[in-house]
Structures are given as structure tokens and as C-alpha cells.
A = this chain, B = another copy of it.
């Protein structure tokens, strides 16, 4: 999978929040994907659980703003961004791993209480 293809998925992920469009989420994750957000909490296992998680996240009105370059390596991409909710932001790093079909099979989000501002 080319870096440009991974970066396009990251951009569509941002767009999903911009447009509150759950169909983008449904399209980008594999049926057997796992989402851990933040790392250390219960995993959303499988597309149905993932869609339910993102329906809630998208409806919050939160927007995503990339704050640095996407780092592509192996079957993964890591990227730094902020979640913006009104005047509040959270600094986050997401890591996506892709399967051979170009779908995200594993997503981990790294953030904690120190990342609020």
C-alpha cells in the first residue's frame, strides 16, 4: 500500500468528522477491525461496535485538525492531530494498521488527561 493511499485514508477520516459522515467510517475499516481509543480502555471489536463508537463521536460535533506530517511505515501510518470541540482541544496521536485490501484493521489512539487544553 503506497504512502499516498494511507494518507488519503487519514484525510478521509478527518472528512468524516467534518461532514459527520458515518459512511466514510464504514468504508475505511475492515469487518474484523479493532479500535482502542484511548489505549488502555476497552477495545471496540468488529465493524458494528466501531460504527456505534464513531456514530457517537461524530454526533459530538468534534472536528479533527492534523498538526504534523503523516508517518508511513510498513503496513501502518501514525499521525498527530488535535480534536477540536469549541474552545477546547485534545492533542492525540493515532496509529492505523492496514490489511492487504487497504482497510484499517487496527486503530490505536494515544492521549491522556495531560493533552487537554
Contacts and interface: CB of A to CB of B under 8 A. Distances in A.
Contact of A95 (B3, B68, B110, B113): B110
B110 A75 contact: no
B75 A40 contact: yes
Interface stretch (A22-30, A54-62, A76-84): A76-84
> Quick one: copies of this chain in the complex?
2
Contacts of A14: none
Interface in A76-117: 76-80, 91-93, 95, 109-115
Contacts of A46: none
A80 B80 contact: yes
A33 B113 CA distance: 27
A73 interface: yes
Contacts of A74: 38-41
B40 A77 contact: no
Given A93-B78, A93-B80, A95-B78, A114 B69 contact: yes
13 contacts: A38-B73, A67-B68, A68-B68, A69-B114, A70-B114, A71-B115, A72-B110, A72-B112, A76-B110, A78-B95, A78-B110, A80-B80, A93-B95
